[in-house]
Structure 1
């Protein structure tokens, strides 16, 4: 190979190893406008080849005037994904979504507190006990994201609570260098004291993987489970049954996505979190 050919090959390699941005076309409805941080909370449709339908914040490019938007605007725009950041631009306002409200003549604030939350809604800052018997609230983790699963220690079904623990272990290992915490909260508020959880799961705990007890925090587990759409019963009778759902929430405790049932795959959550990291930060 002569010097000229070698030079051309080197230049070609340089271009191919550069950070090549990817562009995606997105359609959605604006749910919140954050002028301080120049970003929009958008309930977006599926982004083919990139992300499922969910509600999330999008950073605006400096060329976009945030003052042109209103809540419930239906918009189309381009999402640009780079290696370490992202931004959105080329917005078209294509209509106005009907304003949905949860308020009802018969509902008061207390009713709304226990209502099922949807993507984009805020989750209450519930407080539980860690395995060292210290109170800790969801906001105390100061995470970019929290993944929350519900378990109880006497669960006899290997494809339910034990499987949820394994999935969270896998994800916590994968994201150990990110500011993300994985919480496994027991809804057995009678048996699963901090001491019980520590004896059973203490060896599994790590910097970003935590087991939390609802012992003496019945209202917190009731509120969180109602907002999450997780049902449990039979605690008082020592004959517990429950449904399964895992929540992904952001640093502002807004619900981003849910993973339902026993068969959700950690690869789904892994892909979602990786994409969210690119978009949020």
Structure 2
């Protein structure tokens, strides 16, 4: 909507589960299925994008993990930093991805021949983005259309209700099984809410978590989930909607999400929408930190103040 005075940071969980992608990946099933014992181990291949200074995490563009996760670029905790010794950005690698009930990490990282892995293992995401009819996706600079959803109390609301507020928005679903995806996004939101309160900026911000699983995630289910992270539902809203409404949002923000075998494969996406309602910046993955969002909101606020000051000076 033209001239909408709000800012949105979209965190759409780029997230998790059950996607059958590239044929090369389809040959790699879990090495160990110890789900009854509380953990799974997957064999994965990809390309190393970066290594943290302490070697305790690495950003990897990986192929599809069959029955679990779409191909994407994400940050993985590293169990043994020594596994990364001698590796550098761009190396083709294999590793084991271990997922427990409350944690996940990679181990047994090995360098492969360069031709063993595609140069861009995640490929073209656009071919995996579900579309909603003729709804166009948003590009940086586009105005974000208004939308209507239902909150955790069963009340309808519009995006325009937050006019004049900065909005941080994320896509999640309650049954998301990987600790470093939806649960991490919600935990980051919890920390973000605390940081904004401490700085006195929460009044100017609204947090919004939108489910991508509206059939299961009713207002009642969302409220129970939300209570794990916050008790202030005026500052942080959890929302659901009709499947068509959710699909439209996923299409607009280019968030891959696909129901599959009782769960959902999806991606994590973070985006900043400027005070005039335009998509200004997009981040993909789970690498962002609450402080990154705080910094983005601060910059947005400073831009508003500068614009208002220039307008006053011009009139004078």
TM-score tier by shorter-chain length is: 0.5 to 0.7
Matched residues in 1 for 2:272 and 2:279: separation?
6
Matched residues in 2 for 1:253 and 1:220: separation?
19
Matched residues in 1 for 2:245 and 2:164: separation?
20
Partner of 1:275: 299
Matched residues in 2 for 1:131 and 1:196: separation?
8
1:181 pairs with 2:206: yes
Superposition pairs of residues 56-75 of structure 1, within 5 angstroms: none
Superposition pairs of residues 119-138 of structure 1, within 5 angstroms: 119-138=140-159
**C-alpha displacement at 1:251, in angstroms?**
4.5
Superposition pairs of residues 54-203 of structure 1, within 5 angstroms: 111=134, 114-176=135-197, 177-178=200-201, 179-202=204-227
1:234 pairs with 2:255: no
Matched residues in 1 for 2:231 and 2:158: separation?
17
Partner of 1:220: 245
SS state at 1:148 partner: strand
SS state at 1:125 partner: coil
**C-alpha displacement at 1:252, in angstroms?**
4.2
Partner of 1:209: 236
Q: TM-score when scaled to structure 1?
A: 0.56
Structure 1, residues 112-170: CA drift from partner, whole Å, max 9, x if none? xx222122211221111111101111111234321111000000111000110111122
Structure 1 unpaired stretches of 5+? 1-31, 38-109
Partner of 1:264: 288
Matched residues in 2 for 1:151 and 1:272: separation?
21
SS state at 1:175 partner: helix
SS state at 2:167 partner: strand
Moved over 6 A (4+): none
Q: Which has the higher contact order (CA 8 A, sep 6+)?
A: 2
SS state at 2:227 partner: helix
Aligned residues, how many? 170
Q: TM-score when scaled to structure 2?
A: 0.50
Indicate the RMSD between aligned Cα atoms, in angstroms. 2.3
Conserved in 2, the CA contact under 8 Å of 1:148 and 1:248? no
SS state at 1:157 partner: coil
- From the superposition, tell whether residues 229 and 248 of structure 1 become closer, same or farther in structure 2 (CA, over 3 Å): same
Higher Rg of the two aligned structures: 1
**C-alpha displacement at 1:222, in angstroms?**
1.0
